[in-house]
Amino acid sequence: MARDTDSDARAGTASPPNHRAVSGIALILAAAALLQSSLVAGFATQSQAASGGDQVAKLEASNGRLESRVAGLEATRPTVPDWAGIAAAIEPSVFTVVAGDWLGSAWVVSSDRRGSFLVTNYHVIAGAWEAGVTVVELHQGDQVYPAWISRADPADDIALIEVDTRFPALATAKVRPALASPVMSVGSPLGFDGTVATGVVSGYRSLDGSDWLQFSAPISPGSSGGPLVDGRGAVVGISTEKAVGDGVEALAFAIPVQTVCTALTTCPDQV
């Protein structure tokens, strides 16, 4: 702008000499004022940019702290068992046992190329065993497998059944689950095979000289001998009996699986 004004002056446009001097001073002052204004504006723009950068940094730091808190909460959140997945994995190893006029449930504790060993309650096969009959049937859906009682332990109310077909064995728990741990019973209440029900470990009892795992999942006649599994799918007990009476609810009992693994048979897959 100053250059244009000087060029107009040289071309003789309009102003007396003293006016040109005054005008030049005014223009210089105006130019100085404009430069100062530009510097101030530039400084303001830089300050705003710096302020915006600080705000972004603060937001990023805040987001980082929030993400850390969320990760911490997720790490401490109780995991919910995938019961549908566990049931699907377990059911091929659980059977209905038919022993004469009695029926109950059984589950595979071990297997090899020669066949499988299954655990059930002694009272399920007691009628046949005490009558000298060792042959029983294992039912699973429409399939029926002939089997036989290979060992009985009336004192602990457990028995071992053998079949010459190989089925997948279930893992067993090394230690008993904590109180309030989620559990699922699998069995054949009233002959309805493959029935599942969930609950929690309610307590541990010593009754008549025997140890019991108390749980809240519902069971019925025919459930006896079926596995009670934890949130990993490992067997923690053998569903055996329940309390009945007016006002009595969710009061079932299982023989701890450790009794099976020490008194009846070897449990090869302990977790």
Tokens representing 2 are 């100053």
Site of tokens 């909460």: 73
Q: Specify whether 19 is catalytic.
A: no
Catalytic residue list contains 224: yes
Q: What is the pLDDT of residue 76?
A: 66
pTM: 0.73
**pLDDT value for 246:** 93
Q: Where are the beta strands (DSSP E) in the chain?
A: 94-99, 102-112, 115-120, 135-140, 143-153, 158-163, 182-187, 195-207, 210-215, 227-229, 235-242, 252-256
Catalytic pick among 93, 111, 188, 224: 224
Q: What is the CATH number of domain 83-263?
A: 2.40.10.120
Residues 170 and 224: their CA atoms lie apart, in Å, by: 17
The whole-number pLDDT of residue 54 equals 77
Say which of 15, 23, 123, 153 is annotated catalytic.
123
Residue-by-residue pLDDT tens, the chain, 271 positions: 444 444 333 334 344 444 444 444 344 444 444 445 554 445 445 555 556 667 777 777 777 787 777 777 666 666 899 999 999 999 999 999 999 999 999 999 999 999 999 999 999 999 999 999 999 999 999 999 999 999 999 999 999 999 999 999 999 999 999 999 999 999 999 999 999 999 999 999 998 889 999 999 999 999 999 999 999 999 999 999 999 999 999 999 999 999 999 999 999 999 9
Domain parsing of the chain, residue ranges = 2-76, 83-263
Nearest partner of 160 among 265, 261, 236, judged by Cα: 265
pLDDT at position 68, please? 77
105 is catalytic: no
Catalytic-labelled residue, pool 105, 110, 157, 188: 157
Phi, psi for residue 173 in degrees, rounded to 5:
-80, 135
- 221, 230, 225: which is closest to 199 by C-alpha? 230
CA proximity to 234, closest of 183, 161, 159, 178? 183
